[in-house]
Amino acid sequence: MSRRPTRRFADGGNIPFVSALHHKTRSSPLLSVGLVVVGAFLIIGYLYSGSGGSSSDKEAVSKLEGGVSCTLEVHKALPILKKAYGDSMRKVLHVGPDTCSVVSKLLKEEDTEAWGVEPYDLDEADSNCKSLVRKGIVRLADIKFPLPYRAKSFSLVIVSEALDYLSPKYLNRTLPELARVSAEGFVVFSGYPGQHRAKVVELSKFGRPAKLRSSSWWIRYFVQTSLEENEAAAKKFEQAASKRSYKPACQVFHLKSYH
């Protein structure tokens, strides 16, 4: 989904369009208001265009689009995941839209290697993301087919949002793949039923609206595909989240790898 970065502006006096309007003229109030609006849109459009931005920036845009992003939720949850998984965070694969932002953040962590799989498109990728792709750190891959990695290539796999757009037919293929390439488990971030997603953005990028399923549906599905809950990691995650007063905006499932 097309998310573009935004930034907070300083006081209006720092924006040329605004300060110019305070010049002592007898211009029409409607004209002044119109110029302010046009100026604001021009500045925002300029800042949005291809600069990458921080996770907090993207969160603001997500709210403007009216949707909930589980990939943005991964950004918030990373400190909690580190507490829960410890050394298992040393070699991480992220799978999901906007994976470049997650991989970039993980690479800033000490003693952490990170890779990413973007399931949809990289048409609006910024220079940092393009660099990650050139280096082979981030790949564009259809997750309905086998992932381009050997078994147990990563200590931990984190998948966000991508599974919400797959039918059970393709989940049957993708979930075992996530378990196959992970050595010490994988974590699923999925939307809650009833969460609002921007339908126009969804259809333009994913081709279909998200299918937001209940936790009971997911649990039954995990059992059917012989995936077990990683109870130890789930407990540590809950304890760390409680200490930080963190409440995920998405469902979080902790699962064991295949052995």
Q: What is the pLDDT of residues 72-89, one digit of tens each?
A: 999 999 999 999 999 999
Which one, of 141, 166, 174, lies nearest residue 255 by Cα? Answer: 174
Confidence of residue 110 (pLDDT cuts 50, 70, 90): confident
What is the SS3 string spanning 94-143? EECCCHHHHHHHHHCCCCCEEEEEECCCCCCCCHHHHHHHHCCCEEECCC
**Tell me, what's the pLDDT at 54?**
43
Which one, of 109, 256, 241, lies nearest residue 185 by Cα? Answer: 256
pTM: 0.73
Q: What is the pLDDT of residues 162-198, one digit of tens each?
A: 999 999 999 999 999 999 999 999 999 999 987 755 4
CA distance 4 to 201: 12
Q: Name the residue with higher pLDDT: 56 or 74.
A: 74
**Tell me, what's the pLDDT at 3?**
42
Output the CA–CA distances (angstroms, integers) from residue 247 to 60, 97, 189, 197, in the order listed.
Answer: 18, 22, 13, 19
DSSP state letter for 229: B
Confidence of residue 32 (pLDDT cuts 50, 70, 90): low
Structural domains for the chain: 70-256 (3.40.50.150)
Written as one letter, the residue type at 185 is G
Flag whether pLDDT at 13 surpasses 60. Answer: no
**Tell me, what's the pLDDT at 43?**
45
Flag whether pLDDT at 9 surpasses 70. Answer: no
- Tell me what the pLDDT averaged over the chain comes to: 78
Flag whether pLDDT at 12 surpasses 90. Answer: no
CA angle 234, 239, 242 (to 5 degrees): 120
Lowest average pLDDT, out of 45-59, 131-145, 219-233, goes to 45-59
**Tell me, what's the pLDDT at 78?**
96
